[in-house]
Amino acid sequence: MKKLFLDSDVLLDLLLDREPFSDDIATLIEKSIDSEAKLCTSPISITNINYIIGRLENKNKADLKTKKILKIVSMENIGQSIIDKASNSKFKDFEDSVQNFCAVESGHEIIITRNTKDYKESELSILTPREYLAKIKSE
């Protein structure tokens, strides 16, 4: 089963209906569910999403949207080894480094994000939702 690690930016695109990006992530999620791909993220993404939506909208909407996304994605664990790897990595942003090593240790091959430049130190395939959709269309 293919596993896709979704970064918080693309999940926020979906939940906040951020145009022109929300259509791509919605289509990616639909196609992944149809193909039985497993959609995953980290607890960091969920806490960030809840916080950001709470600030932009309100706590009730943040809680509702958090529950909505938890029906779609599975959580990957973050432990000491991931934090150690992240703190010793060449990533410029610690949170991106934690996300990367969470995906690596959880057996992912692909991280879906709009911030591909933030993952230039990653050994994984880093794709935007649009790039991933083009990739699966050509397969």
- Complete domains list, the chain, with CATH: 3-138 (3.40.50.1010)
Residue keyed to tokens 């909208």:
57
The span from the CA of 73 to the CA of 57, in Å, is 22
pLDDT reported for residue 138 = 83
Residue 139 pLDDT more than 90? no
Structure tokens at 17: 């209906």
Residue 1 pLDDT more than 80? no
pLDDT reported for residue 137 = 85
Structure tokens at 114: 């709009």
Other beta carbons within 10 angstroms of residue 105's beta carbon come to 15
